[in-house]
A and B are shown apart, each in its own frame.
Chain A
């Protein structure tokens, strides 16, 4: 079975400061890794994903994440946040061998950007 842990339920940060949202996963098989963002009253939107290759993945809106296999982590970073980045962020995994390709999500981290 797979599980995803997002230890920080909320991360407050000032505008233009850097931010890191942490994600750790547990799995007995290899997984694909995703970060989704959920703005109020909107559906989840893909920020980035790691399938293979370079462990540093760049996504939309200036976000990037680094896959660390030994630490089973996939932390999300942004060097300078904006007020508009205030949203809920979800880390998710999808097992390679599961033909459903369903997503297994963490409990989310609410990023609160203050002026």
Chain B
């Protein structure tokens, strides 16, 4: 396995602009998770997919955020009308099979977003 990859690794944008991040999970991993990590804090759950279905969204995911996973492969996370409070590291993780209790999640390197 080549691991979970995320693109871009860094993004600087101006307030009000839209940004899109991409995550490529480990091949054949059915579950895909998005987390957000702000400075000095641990990652916080945003949303997750089982194949192409988005099954849960955190209250942290405002209406400006949207995530997709077409065809159950890669996923995108879009933030519209970015705000300075959106500045954070956005982490993607995937887990194999159908998702089992205690199953290991494999994390990508993250996309660091800075909103000016």
A interface residues with partner B (beta carbon < 8 Å): 4, 6, 9, 32, 36, 41-46, 49, 51, 90, 92, 94, 96, 99-108
Give me 11 other A-B pairs in contact (C-beta within 8 A), A102-B56, A103-B43 excluded: A41-B109, A44-B91, A46-B105, A92-B42, A96-B101, A99-B99, A101-B101, A101-B105, A103-B35, A105-B42, A108-B41
Most chain B beta carbons < 10 A, residue from A46, A94, A100, A105: A100
Judging by beta carbons under 8 Å apart, are B55 and A43 in contact? Answer: no
Closest chain A residue to B45, Cβ basis: A102
**Does B74 lie at the interface of the complex (its beta carbon under 8 Å from any beta carbon of A)?**
no
Which of B33, B41, B99, B104 is in CB contact (< 8 Å) with A107? B41
If over half of A's interface residues share one DSSP class (helix, strand or loop), that class is named, otherwise mixed; here it is loop
Which of A45, A94, A104 is in CB contact (< 8 Å) with B107? A45
Judging by beta carbons under 8 Å apart, are B42 and A49 in contact? Answer: no
Which of A46, A94, A100, A105 is in CB contact (< 8 Å) with B55? A100
Judging by beta carbons under 8 Å apart, are A101 and B41 in contact? Answer: no
Report the Cα distance A36→B33, complex, angstroms. Answer: 16
**Does B114 lie at the interface of the complex (its beta carbon under 8 Å from any beta carbon of A)?**
no
Judging by beta carbons under 8 Å apart, are B40 and A107 in contact? Answer: yes
Report the Cα distance A44→B94, complex, angstroms. Answer: 12
Report the Cα distance A6→B42, complex, angstroms. Answer: 10
Closest chain A residue to B37, Cβ basis: A105
**Contact residues in B for A105 (Cβ distance below 8 Å):** 42-44
Which of B42, B48, B106 is in CB contact (< 8 Å) with A102? B48
A107 to chain B, nearest CB (A): 5
